[in-house]
A and B are shown apart, each in its own frame.
Chain A
């Protein structure tokens, strides 16, 4: 049974006003337990709108969303449960920090779940560890942290709810390369250690290739493709037509093969290196 399943969902913004806009059109998708799915698409293609349907923040104008087999709009209780089963971390989550200390801020989510004190404490410390926040930072004010630390503290606030599916909307936006790598590393860690499903909305096709099992491509409010990284990235021309760009290294591999040096296709630099050194029988 998929953890999240959307059936024919459609969403309109500003319904019934002159500025009405179709943000999702008849979207169906199943996300399986433990899967890491990358979501890509040009700006305004409906990625953020789609993921907000998964934890009952937005209600579809038609269609159904089920989480763990339960229709999340079937009862108030179900919508409430979906908030905790599916953890959603928005773009620039550092703007949601509000407590006096980082510790208190991370415990906001678990506290809302009504967990006992010692369980909250355990979760806060574990979440901080996942995102790599040293324990001496926990007693600081969140407003005294650096940008990258704030971002990780905010992500920890969602992780601490220990959701069965974690959704991150452009978690690396606006970070420097080092901060970006730490966040990506953290996502991989979290997924390996908890076995939760992770949905990663990203503009970097290379990051998605590096981390994801499957890729969902959104285009003009609909699903364009959904499949494994290899399947999706092999449609390079189509991806380019809908305003996306395959990673630079893929282009290089493509050019090499068209010139007669066929090493296979790769979407990350590491993989390309493996393929080339492997085939040519040379060492680094």
Chain B
């Protein structure tokens, strides 16, 4: 289960998408997410799906890895879809039995929601697959730097995020190690009711906290020893610079958004929201 978490996982590669400037990638991802919720007609939805598939192909990340990032959200997608089918009324009535009414509106809404969530997750995992966590936080720091004017400690926040991301794999390893050690002493983690299972986590959580706190102190000491006094005014080893390919990507994304708006305009909207 824990291995399914793909956030913060980087897929080593050398594709066009890997080379894009991280700042541009973050902005374009946000634009794409807005575009997702603009889609209201079938042709627009189709264009979005095609664009998403094209992005996956360009990124060079294997389809299998992309599908893996969808696994944890499968339940959510299913749940919202089913809810929409029963909840959204209107359109041509298909089923009408006692209090259950299913209309075309409900089905379309469910379909749109499912496709939208899937595209959203795929595109945002492409961002983390093709951008190293360090590049990501550097880019966020740059993008948020205007907030420094209103005294937001952007550099410190960026450092905290870098550290948090850096320690995700370490923590996952640690959980694995402790789980194995307790299993070797006969801990039963997979059977029993909810309460029993929750209790069975104590032998894992306590050592995890103990070692995390120890690690935090060690890290603080190590940073002190290397004269870390806060992130303000720190320079970067890798300077970020916008290249022609970044502007090309921006233009293509703009075209895509325009396409969605045009298709929405000429075709009938099938969902309300």
User: Chain A interface (Cβ within 8 Å of chain B)?
Assistant: 52, 55, 57, 83-84, 87-90, 93, 95-98, 108-109, 112-113, 143, 157-158, 161
CA–CA, A96 and B202, complex, Å: 11
Q: Is the CB of A98 within 8 A of B202?
A: yes
Q: Please name 18 further chain A to chain B contacts, defined as beta carbons within 8 Å, in addition to the given A88-B184, A98-B204, A161-B186, sorted by A numbering.
A: A52-B180, A55-B184, A57-B180, A83-B185, A83-B186, A87-B184, A90-B177, A90-B180, A95-B207, A95-B211, A96-B181, A96-B182, A96-B203, A97-B207, A108-B185, A108-B203, A109-B185, A112-B185
Nearest-Cβ distance from residue A181 to partner chain B, whole angstroms? 24
Closest to A19 in B: B12
CA–CA, A194 and B95, complex, Å: 72
State whether the Cβ of B1 lies closer than 8 Å to any Cβ in chain A: no
Write out the residue numbers on chain B whose beta carbons fall within 8 Å of the beta carbon of A112: 185-188
User: Chain B interface (Cβ within 8 Å of chain A)?
Assistant: 177-178, 180-188, 202-204, 206-207, 210-211
CA–CA, A88 and B183, complex, Å: 10
Take A95-B177, A95-B211, A97-B207 as given contacts and tell me if A57 and B183 are in contact as well, using a CB distance cutoff of 8 Å. yes
CA–CA, A88 and B181, complex, Å: 8
Can you offer 13 A-B residue contacts whose CB atoms are under 8 A? A55-B184, A57-B180, A84-B186, A88-B184, A89-B184, A95-B177, A96-B178, A96-B185, A96-B203, A98-B204, A108-B186, A109-B185, A109-B186
Nearest-Cβ distance from residue A249 to partner chain B, whole angstroms? 35
CA–CA, A158 and B204, complex, Å: 16
Q: Is the CB of A143 within 8 A of B210?
A: yes
Q: Is the CB of B206 within 8 A of A98?
A: yes
Q: Is the CB of A83 within 8 A of B202?
A: no
Q: Is the CB of B184 within 8 A of A90?
A: yes
Q: Is the CB of B202 within 8 A of A158?
A: no
Q: Is the CB of B186 within 8 A of A90?
A: no
Is chain B's binding surface mostly helix, strand, loop or mixed? Answer: helix
CA–CA, A194 and B203, complex, Å: 28
Take A95-B211, A98-B202 as given contacts and tell me if A90 and B181 are in contact as well, using a CB distance cutoff of 8 Å. yes
CA–CA, A113 and B188, complex, Å: 10
Most buried by A among B186, B188, B206, B210: B186
Closest to B210 in A: A143
Take A57-B180, A90-B180, A90-B181 as given contacts and tell me if A96 and B186 are in contact as well, using a CB distance cutoff of 8 Å. no
CA–CA, A84 and B188, complex, Å: 12
Q: Is the CB of A161 within 8 A of B202?
A: no
CA–CA, A83 and B187, complex, Å: 10
CA–CA, A108 and B203, complex, Å: 9
CA–CA, A140 and B138, complex, Å: 47
Closest to B182 in A: A96
Nearest-Cβ distance from residue B228 to partner chain A, whole angstroms? 27
CA–CA, A90 and B179, complex, Å: 11
Write out the residue numbers on chain A whose beta carbons fall within 8 Å of the beta carbon of B183: 57, 83
Nearest-Cβ distance from residue B271 to partner chain A, whole angstroms? 38
Write out the residue numbers on chain B whose beta carbons fall within 8 Å of the beta carbon of A84: 186
Question: B185's contact among A52, A95, A143, A158, by CB below 8 Å, is which?
Answer: A158
Q: Is the CB of A98 within 8 A of B203?
A: yes
Write out the residue numbers on chain A whose beta carbons fall within 8 Å of the beta carbon of B184: 55, 57, 83, 87-90, 158
CA–CA, A97 and B187, complex, Å: 13
Closest to A58 in B: B180
Nearest-Cβ distance from residue B216 to partner chain A, whole angstroms? 15
CA–CA, A83 and B182, complex, Å: 11
Write out the residue numbers on chain B whose beta carbons fall within 8 Å of the beta carbon of A88: 184
Write out the residue numbers on chain A whose beta carbons fall within 8 Å of the beta carbon of B187: 108, 112
Nearest-Cβ distance from residue A4 to partner chain B, whole angstroms? 15
Write out the residue numbers on chain B whose beta carbons fall within 8 Å of the beta carbon of A52: 180
Closest to B187 in A: A112
Question: B186's contact among A98, A113, A143, by CB below 8 Å, is which?
Answer: A113
Write out the residue numbers on chain A whose beta carbons fall within 8 Å of the beta carbon of B180: 52, 57, 90
CA–CA, A90 and B177, complex, Å: 9
